[in-house]
Structure 1
């Protein structure tokens, strides 16, 4: 009896499943089935497009510098004064390749060469001053060195889609972590090198930046700092100016 019952059940089950499926499909429309029975939640994932991506890039700038607005007895030389900067930045193009916002981080080293007749020293109050070299000292050299951590924030507008020609405006925040003066001279056939540190430079300054891009994968830049180099009363009133090429 059991064998006959199972055989009959196997013969009936396929028809039962098919009939149930047909009953479901005939009695319930597909639209009703999708909306009432199977509720599928759609999750939209937004991917950043190419123009929204931050693109990190290295940069290098090399140029000349001097001080402007200093008294006439401050004989700064553009040559061989020089500047070298190195860092990286991220470019953001939310409105296409012709408009680029950038922010970065870098280091910068500036050398300000002076005339050979005077050198930097600190007076009794710690202020930086210039004084003539002593009689008998020969082959005199004197320069001012500044090291900074930098945060450039810029906007560039390109005039073509290839980003060959463009103009950049922005500012560079300088954290001036160190400044010292160095003088070298010969006296009685002996060579001397003297370093004067802790010149009381402003710890934070901001440079205004103007730059022109060219198809040669380099730019011509000019930087000017409207803030005085020394703290109030700590030295001469003068402003940093530099210009050169930016890779």
Structure 2
């Protein structure tokens, strides 16, 4: 009974002061996991039958806070985008097709990406500088008449090394939704619209006439100031493939005396970094 009373008093002191001193314990066992720590004392000086056990909860608040903070930082970031592709204009006037592998697009810019904590979906937007070039086959030429209507014809047979193209420069704003194939996956698919603010458009013609190299630049071709594309990107690690479809005609709808601007759209495939 005396021993029981002594142990009871000791335990009460432990609960109140949270400090217990044992003189020459025979054996001390400490067991720890992620949430609790258990201390077991067997025997002490003058009492080999003494037993004491204490379970203490471990506070992981600081560690958890650091992890949560790190995850929050990883959820928001800026990325650099670079792309190069080959354009295939569609809906072109009969007999006036474009040269697919000579028509191209390249762009670069930045995007702000936001990923909700623990999610595999990312939402992003940014700003790209975009250059597009629509080239007609060798021997054909693009021009503009007095009414501002763009048309197609042929270079003189005496001209050599001919090249004719429509060039468009844009500031583009992408709005992309990205889905990763698992939290630890390196593969993702992005989809969304790209709004193009077309700032500059012109026709550029080059040819060689005998010993002379000639170049002609035609402004005021009546391009649309704003167009919308739809873009898809399949990416693995840092390398991706993209497809972009432009359902809106590059040039404005315009008709004078029955002659109208050519209405053509474009489909582009390329590499995305």
TM-score range, shorter chain: 0.7 to 0.9
2:117 and 2:225 map into 1 onto residues whose CA distance is 36
CA offset digits 1:146-181 (Å, max 9, x no partner): 100010000011112134112111010000101111
Q: Does 1:99 align with 2:121?
A: yes
- Of residues 200, 218, 230, the one that matches 2:239 is 218
Q: Does 1:202 align with 2:202?
A: no
Q: Helix, strand or coil for the counterpart of 2:100?
A: strand
CA offset digits 1:77-106 (Å, max 9, x no partner): 122222111100011112534100001111
Q: Helix, strand or coil for the counterpart of 1:76?
A: coil
Q: Does 1:236 align with 2:262?
A: yes
2:162 and 2:248 map into 1 onto residues whose CA distance is 30
- Map 1:1-247; keep pairs closer than 5 Å: 50=72, 53-94=75-116, 96-215=118-237, 217-233=238-254, 235-247=261-273
1:204 and 1:54 map into 2 onto residues whose CA distance is 29
Name the counterpart of 2:11: none
Q: 1:200 to 1:48 in 2, by over 3 A?
A: farther
Indicate conservation of the 8 Å contact 1:98/1:163, yes or no.
Answer: no
Instruction: Compute the displacement of 1:48 (Å).
Output: 9.8
Higher relative contact order (CA 8 A, sep 6+): 1
1:49 and 1:136 map into 2 onto residues whose CA distance is 67
Indicate conservation of the 8 Å contact 2:103/2:133, yes or no.
Answer: yes
2:91 and 2:117 map into 1 onto residues whose CA distance is 40
2:265 and 2:100 map into 1 onto residues whose CA distance is 14
Instruction: Compute the displacement of 1:73 (Å).
Output: 2.1
Q: Normalised by the size of structure 1, how large is the TM-score?
A: 0.76
Instruction: Compute the displacement of 1:118 (Å).
Output: 1.7
- Residue ranges of structure 2 left out of the alignment (5+ in a row): 1-68, 255-259
Deviates more, 1:128-137 or 1:100-109: 128-137
Which structure has more strand as a fraction of its residues?
2
Instruction: Compute the displacement of 1:188 (Å).
Output: 3.3
Name the counterpart of 1:39: none
In the alignment of these two chains, the number of paired residues is: 201
